[in-house]
A and B are shown apart, each in its own frame.
Chain A
Amino acid sequence: MITGPRVPARRRRRAGTGSGLPGWVFAPAVVGGIFIVLPLVAMLARVQWSQFWTLITSDSSIDALRLSLQTSTASTVLCLLLGTPMALVLARAQFPGLRPARSLVLLPLVLPPVVGGIALIYTYGRLGLIGQYLDTFGIRVAFTTTAVVIAQTFVALPFLVLSLEGSLRSAGRRYEAVAATLGATPTTVLRRVTIPLVLPGLFSGAVLAFARSLGEFGATLTFAGSLQGVTRTLPLEIYLQRETDADAAVALSLVLVVVAVLIVLATRGRTSEGGL
């Protein structure tokens, strides 16, 4: 038998040792990792670096980028305003029908975005459930920038709710109970204890919602259309450019990839455990 310090040193270098996992698990895990990274590498390889700056600073590109950032910011704010109370109710309140309510709220997560867009048309469209009344006041929502924000909020809201609800549940109610017995009203408890405690979850939820809004395509195209500077966000612009100018599409895609990487880094850096 070999003795001496070389044995532990060699063991340490072997993958899998110490993880408690069987060695074969690493093979499919590595394949999965390559599956995700390879397409990004392939796209990077196609980027025409000489024209890159020109491509991403064309009028239509700038319009799309600006519109995307504006609408995604607006929908993230909407998600925070609506989603925070929703998560609080789902995590803390008790009433009959809470479980089905949670399932319904999370529906946009699993719904194909195109279907979401169709549903939004029949709600806020000119002949829609609410849209017909809005129309009598001269308010038209469909095919406007507002429609983009609505579509993005619709698909992004569950991300924030889910992330925040998870944080609220893991934070527990003990601190809130202590705060209440110390004389804090429910509003004070919320403001000074609950929200500060789940701030990381709120942050990562907001970042996820922003990312989802930024990438929104199906519901936006269906409900808001594709008008340059009005409803044509970056993903729509990329899809359109792909038909005519593949290089521009690749360049703009890279911009979205960079944004996505920044977002992932931001959430991972700020929170060790995210809801999603």
Chain B
Amino acid sequence: MTGPSARKPAAPPGAVDLIATIAERGTDLRLTVQPGQVVAVLGANGAGKSTPLSLLSGLLHPDTGRITLDGQVLVDTTAGVWVPPHRRKVVLLAQQALLFPHLTAAANVAFGPRSRGAGRRAAQQAADTWLAAVDATEFADRKPAQLSGGQAQRVAIARALAADPALLLLDEPMAALDVAVAPALRHLLRRVLRDTRRTALLVTHDLIAGISDGRHLVTDDGTRIAGLFDPACRTGDPVVAVFRPSAVAVHLTEPTGSPRNHLPVTITELEPRGEIVRVHTAPFPGAGGLLADVTVAAAADLELQPGDRVFAAVKATEITIYPGLGVTDTTAS
């Protein structure tokens, strides 16, 4: 059992190698995750982006393929190997918290340690520790029905991490939450993942959330985003353009001149963040909305309002194009 303040291991677990095909879904997946990475998998709804999560957690059998985690073969269709979900050390955090409704928050968090053979007291201690790590100590004795969506998801994060997974799977864990709650929870998830050097695979339909989570979830340099793919890419190999919200400029009229990439967007929300204002825009088909960080002065100057049609521009030099990096999905092509 590693607590959130436990000493960082030299190399965290979580090396994933996945090759799988599922004929029925037209899926042909290849995915590699290095230990300690937080990998975002992006795709439109219905693109089958949750498939790698189902395969890794053992809720889905591939037709052909081989999956290893830290060298242990989880699935090998040619050798007939199949490790059942409860022996994989792969934990899924989904859109719904799915806390066991008949157990208190503390008992929910203690469930993983108990299932893995911890004694009652040790499991209780782990639950206390993890509830504290997600600032949910006050909810320990409450039943899930007495928790709000954000509170429940916080407990769910504690429960997932208390099970001490080698690999954490995140299936749009913020998607069902209130816009007001999501940023704080995202921050919390980023913090606990970084503190415990957890390897995680994140799935989202929201390109920007994926990138910002991916960037936030790891260290701040953003270099540990290993594989991004977007089935909405139309031509050629799947690639993803990654840029920081701070690299996005907002214009009221269509910009001209220097080689800029720009898009007409509609502002949906203005989120004050200290000295800057984060501009949220309406989602694009097949992807999420865009984020742009502008200064408070600029936002006031441009008189930005939700509902405004503006142009978002990104300097070409600020964009990093990531190839599919072995993440392919035939449903995309």
Contact = CB atoms under 8 A, between A and B. Distances in A.
Interface of A: 174-175, 177-186, 188-189, 192-193, 196-197, 199
A184 B102 contact: no
Contacts of B98: 174-175, 178
Rank and list the top 8 A-B pairs by shortest CB-CB distance, nearest first. A184-B115, A180-B85, A182-B112, A183-B115, A183-B116, A196-B102, A182-B163, A180-B86
Nearest to A184: B115
A188 B85 contact: no
B106 to A, nearest CB: 14
Contacts of B84: 180, 186
Nearest to A185: B86
B92 interface: yes
A178 B100 CA distance: 9
Nearest to B169: A181
B111 A181 contact: no
A188 B92 contact: no
Contacts of A197: 100-102
A179 B115 contact: yes
A181 B92 contact: yes
A199 B100 CA distance: 14
Nearest to A197: B102
A177 B171 CA distance: 14
Contact of A184 (B57, B90, B111): B111
Contacts of A182: 86, 91, 111-112, 115, 159-160, 163
B102 A183 contact: no
B86 A181 contact: yes
A188 B100 contact: no
A276 B280 CA distance: 50
Contacts of B100: 175, 178-179, 192-193, 196-197
A105 to B, nearest CB: 28
Nearest to B160: A182
Interface in B58-88: 58-59, 84-88
A138 B59 CA distance: 51
10 contacts: A174-B98, A181-B59, A182-B112, A182-B160, A183-B86, A183-B112, A184-B115, A185-B86, A188-B86, A197-B102
Nearest to A193: B100
Contact of B86 (A174, A175, A184, A199): A184
Given A177-B92, A181-B163, A183-B89, 8 more contacts: A177-B85, A178-B100, A183-B115, A185-B86, A185-B115, A188-B115, A196-B102, A197-B101
Nearest to B163: A182
Nearest to A189: B86
Residue from B86, B88, B98, B112 with most neighbouring chain A CB atoms (10 Å): B86
Nearest to A182: B112
B98 to A, nearest CB: 5
Contacts of A184: 86, 111, 115
Interface in B132-160: 159-160
B22 to A, nearest CB: 17
Interface string B257-292: 000000000000000000000000000000000000
Residue from A180, A185, A193 with most neighbouring chain B CB atoms (10 Å): A180
Contact of B58 (A175, A180, A199): A180
Residue from A178, A185, A192, A197 with most neighbouring chain B CB atoms (10 Å): A178
B58 A181 contact: yes
Contacts of B101: 197
A181 B102 contact: no
A177 B100 CA distance: 11
B111 A177 contact: no
A175 to B, nearest CB: 6
A80 B163 CA distance: 33
Contact of B57 (A181, A185, A188): A181
A93 to B, nearest CB: 15
